[in-house]
Structure 1
Amino acid sequence: MVITKNSQSFRYMKRYWILYAMLVLPIAFFLVFRYIPMAYIQIAFKNYSIVKSPSEMDWAGNNGFEYFIKAFSNRDFLYSLRNTIGLNFLDLLFGFPAPIILAILLNELAFKRFKRFTQTIVYMPHFLSWIIISGMALQLFAPTTGLINIVLNKMGFASIPFLNEPSYWVVTYILLGIWQSCGWNTIIYLAAITGINPELYEASSVDGASRLRNIWHITLPGLRPTIIVMLILSLGRILGSEFDRPYALSNKLVSEVSNVISIFVYNNGIRGLQFSLTTAVGLFQSVVCVIFLFAANALAKKFGERGIW
């Protein structure tokens, strides 16, 4: 009997059809909630009307780019763009190395029980919402009633305006972000460390290498591919902005540094009903993030790394 390619494919599908059936829900999710809504991107180029479908709406002026021009003529948008880039850059500068350092420190712990306990403690903040974290921050950092400032006052020091002055607020914002996400992000790096050949450490120990030498010459080179991939993904989000974190921590006294693009979209789109304007802003944000993603990936490949595709 001759086994044709079609019969092989049929037997393969008959054997593994359950695995493919499990893909139905994820594919349906992406189609319904990711790809079909992309038809509404054209709202950025049209005059929005609630009673018309996107294809029936009239084109905006200036060849459809009216709302892009309005966005870049809007002072609030330019401030939010500056704040988004600034806060994301500081997050990348200080927040990106933090989980790498923490993962290396956890890996070097000799007592396994203490290591597991410490891992559990540092993971926990990830499961707290920013509303809860902002409430905790208010109890700790409030100018007059915050625990830290009360202790400082009793020690004879002046109160520190952690949440009321822009420069202090930015520092507090970055530190709270590191505290919330650092432990969770170590999971990826700890998994990468477990993939490093233990014989390399044994050989270096025989040669008399110290722990710092092992970290520098074995652990960090072993982590490099993972670090490169995570850095590329982080650069792809350099213009992205989460909503809950800046919104929960901000107040009117620091609005000049806390208003990011997501808050601008919320204020002008959801509250101001300027859907075409905020769709144009969101499209611009997404396009720039994609450009950064491709550029970072190309740069990684140029220096001999694998990249993400």
Structure 2
Amino acid sequence: MAATLYRYRWYYLMMLPGVLYFIIFHYGPMGGLIIAFKDYNLVKGVWGSEWAGLKHFYTIFESPDIIRTLRNTVVISVYRIVFNMLPDLMLALVLNEIRIRWFKRAIQTITYGPYFLSWVVVYGLAFSFLAPDSGLLNQTIREFGGTTVDFLTAKEYFRSILISTEIWKNTGFGAIIYLAALAAIDPSLYEAAVVDGAGRWRQLWHVTLPGVANVFVLLLIMRIGHILDAGFEQVYIFYNSRVYEVADIIDTWVFRRGLEQFDFSVATAVGFFKGVIGLLLVIGANQLAKKLGQSSIW
């Protein structure tokens, strides 16, 4: 054991910063979960606050908003999984087929650029298109004799706007992962397919897609584990009081309860609940992937 550690000492040294990062910023703060079981008081501190048992968990499930927030969170997360993963894969497949290098790089740059924009900027762009009076889309509607629509405050359009802006912002970044998987496919498989008389579509179906299937399954498992994280930053910036019914998610409810009302114990209890559910979902999805013969996390 000691000989092995010494032999790979430089690898362990390079791994050390990443390990320290997770210990300090991910595992260390987990000790704060104790306040989910206490009546946390800022003056008394974590250890001085009185124990409350499961009181705050009862508060969560007795809240009249919990069903609505859970439903909205799951629905928006499922929409993200269904509608966001396929564009990433499709863009990667298209880029993989482009043989003109400068054109391929240009498309990658254009699609990857929005990833670096903050959601505040993305909302500003969406507002310039969807605003009821000055928005480009509503101006076009008026030009054709139609009636303007306040898209940003309409419940029936809110989730569509969320998913559309998510696709526009993150598809380019998501495609990079699939491009890396495509680059790892053995070229001899394509050569064998050509010898067998397979055209481009057959090669795509029998070589390319199976080559990225494992990556797709792994990303799907990770997304399922975050199904109770519906994208707080985006939702918080886009939503308003008129769309609470379809937009209020667990994280926005926690934000109002924890930071605006200073009820940190309830907010922590929600975080604890989300973590447990996420862990169970990851374990379940991982076991299902194993049974289906696909790659799994462990």
| TM-score, structure 1 as length reference | 0.91
Q: Which amino acid aligns with 1:175?
A: S
The answer on whether the counterparts of 1:240 and 1:289 sit within 8 Å (CA) in structure 2 is: no
> 1-side partners of 2:33 and 2:222: how far apart?
23
**1:177 aligned residue (152, 156, 166):** 166
> 2-side partners of 1:24 and 1:295: how far apart?
31
Residue matched to 2:25: 33
1:210 and 1:20, CA in 2 relative to 1: closer, same or farther beyond 3 A? closer
The answer on whether the counterparts of 2:60 and 2:270 sit within 8 Å (CA) in structure 1 is: yes
Give the secondary structure class of the aligned counterpart of 1:58: strand
**1:241 aligned residue (225, 230, 248):** 230
Residue matched to 1:226: 215
Q: Which amino acid aligns with 1:69?
A: Y
Deviations 1:101-147 (A, max 9, x none): 11111111232211111011110111000000001111111122111
**1:82 aligned residue (68, 71, 74):** 71
> 1-side partners of 2:26 and 2:195: how far apart?
54
| Structure number, greater radius of gyration | 1
Are residues 1:44 and 2:36 paired? Answer: yes
> 1-side partners of 2:94 and 2:146: how far apart?
34
The answer on whether the counterparts of 2:76 and 2:230 sit within 8 Å (CA) in structure 1 is: no
Cα shift at 1:24: 4.0
1:254-269 alignment runs, 5 A limit: 254-269=243-258
Cα shift at 1:18: 4.9
> 2-side partners of 1:211 and 1:20: how far apart?
44
Cα shift at 1:26: 3.1
Residue matched to 1:212: 201
Q: Which amino acid aligns with 1:116?
A: R
Deviations 1:185-210 (A, max 9, x none): 00110111111122222232333322
Are residues 1:187 and 2:198 paired? Answer: no
Residue matched to 1:58: 50
Give the secondary structure class of the aligned counterpart of 1:163: helix
1:295 and 1:16, CA in 2 relative to 1: closer, same or farther beyond 3 A? closer
1:201 and 1:168, CA in 2 relative to 1: closer, same or farther beyond 3 A? same
Cα shift at 1:169: 1.2
Give the secondary structure class of the aligned counterpart of 1:244: helix
1:307 and 1:259, CA in 2 relative to 1: closer, same or farther beyond 3 A? same
After superposition, the CA RMSD in angstroms is: 1.8
Are residues 1:143 and 2:136 paired? Answer: no
Are residues 1:116 and 2:108 paired? Answer: no
Deviations 1:147-175 (A, max 9, x none): 11101211223323321211111111111
The answer on whether the counterparts of 1:240 and 1:286 sit within 8 Å (CA) in structure 2 is: no
Give the secondary structure class of the aligned counterpart of 1:75: coil
> 2-side partners of 1:107 and 1:23: how far apart?
32
Question: How many residues align structurally?
Answer: 298
The answer on whether the counterparts of 1:84 and 1:241 sit within 8 Å (CA) in structure 2 is: yes
- Which runs of no fewer than 5 residues in structure 2 stay unpaired? none
> 1-side partners of 2:235 and 2:198: how far apart?
45
1:215 and 1:160, CA in 2 relative to 1: closer, same or farther beyond 3 A? farther
The answer on whether the counterparts of 2:214 and 2:294 sit within 8 Å (CA) in structure 1 is: yes
1:201 and 1:28, CA in 2 relative to 1: closer, same or farther beyond 3 A? closer
Q: Which amino acid aligns with 1:286?
A: G
1:213 and 1:22, CA in 2 relative to 1: closer, same or farther beyond 3 A? closer
Cα shift at 1:94: 0.8
1:280-299 alignment runs, 5 A limit: 280-299=269-288
Give the secondary structure class of the aligned counterpart of 2:40: coil
The answer on whether the counterparts of 1:67 and 1:280 sit within 8 Å (CA) in structure 2 is: yes
Which of 178-187 and 205-214 deviates more?
205-214
Cα shift at 1:19: 4.5
The answer on whether the counterparts of 1:39 and 1:54 sit within 8 Å (CA) in structure 2 is: no
Cα shift at 1:262: 1.3
